[in-house]
A and B are shown apart, each in its own frame.
Chain A
Amino acid sequence: KQEVTQIPAALSVPEGENLVLNCSFTDSAIYNLQWFRQDPGKGLTSLLLIQSSQREQTSGRLNASLDKSSGRSTLYIAASQPGDSATYLCAVQASGSRLTFGEGTQLTVNP
């Protein structure tokens, strides 16, 4: 059974800092890994999708890496801003279409 773990559970940083969120998964037989953002009371917004054959994806200040063999992914956020405050969820997709999610990292960026 696939299990996804995210560390840390919560993170508070001053504005402008670079930060790294971590995700690990137990079964390396995945099709892809996705990072989502969730704002309070809102649904999930897809940030980055990394196919199993890829090593990383970048979008603006966000960079996600994938090391499938070790079951790890990181989300790097450069020059953090208060608007980045949200919960960040990592999810892996294996057989079929089901996404298995981690419990998320709650990020607070202080002005």
Chain B
Amino acid sequence: EAGVAQSPRYKIIEKRQSVAFWCNPISGHATLYWYQQILGQGPKLLIQFQNNGVVDDSQLPKDRFSAERLKGVDSTLKIQPAKLEDSAVYLCASSLGAGSNYGYTFGSGTRLTVV
């Protein structure tokens, strides 16, 4: 089966600019996650979707980050305006469903550098 697709692979922007990342999960996976991984740290959940509804966005900086999953398939994550501390790898993952019995599949990530 095809994996989780993410684009772009790399992005360099200046602070205060905006940027968007795209994720296409595995076909049929109802649950989609966006994680932020700062260099040297483990990934941290930003937002979780179940189909096209938000399940958990408690750690999403909502003043500058937004995400949507229209039609319950693809998802976009946007940062506006970007700050230097947003430099990180943004990982998208999907699973068949929510809950402990479903494994995750991660994409290769988008590496964002804010200068």
Chain A contacts to B: CB under 8 angstroms: 4, 31-32, 34, 36, 41-46, 49, 51-52, 89, 91, 93, 96-99, 101-104
Contact of B45 among A4, A31, A98, A102 (CB under 8 A): A98
Given A42-B108, A43-B109, A44-B91, does the pair A97, B99 have CB atoms closer than 8 Å?
yes
B60 to chain A, nearest CB (A): 12
Pair count A-B, CB < 8 A = 62
The 7 closest A-B pairs by CB, nearest first: A101-B42, A31-B100, A43-B106, A44-B106, A97-B98, A43-B108, A98-B45
Mark interface residues in B8-33 (1 if CB within 8 Å of A CB, else 0): 00000000000000000000000101
B43 at the interface (CB under 8 A from A): yes
B interface residues, how many (CB within 8 angstroms): 27
Q: Chain B interface (Cβ within 8 Å of chain A)?
A: 4, 31, 33, 40-45, 48, 55-56, 91, 93, 95, 98-100, 102-109, 111
A8 to chain B, nearest CB (A): 14
A45 contacts across to B, CB distance below 8 A: 106
Which of A4, A31, A97, A102 is the one whose CB lies under 8 Å from B31? Answer: A97
Taking the nearest CB of chain A, how far is it from the CB of B42, in angstroms?
Answer: 3
Provide the bound-state CA to CA distance between A51 and B48, in Å.
21
Bound-state Cα–Cα, A93 to B111, Å: 25
Instruction: Kindly list 12 other residue pairs between chains A and B, CB separation below 8 angstroms, not including A43-B108, A97-B95.
Output: A4-B42, A32-B100, A34-B104, A43-B91, A43-B109, A45-B106, A46-B103, A97-B98, A97-B100, A98-B56, A101-B43, A103-B41
- Minimal beta-carbon separation of A101 from chain B (angstroms): 3
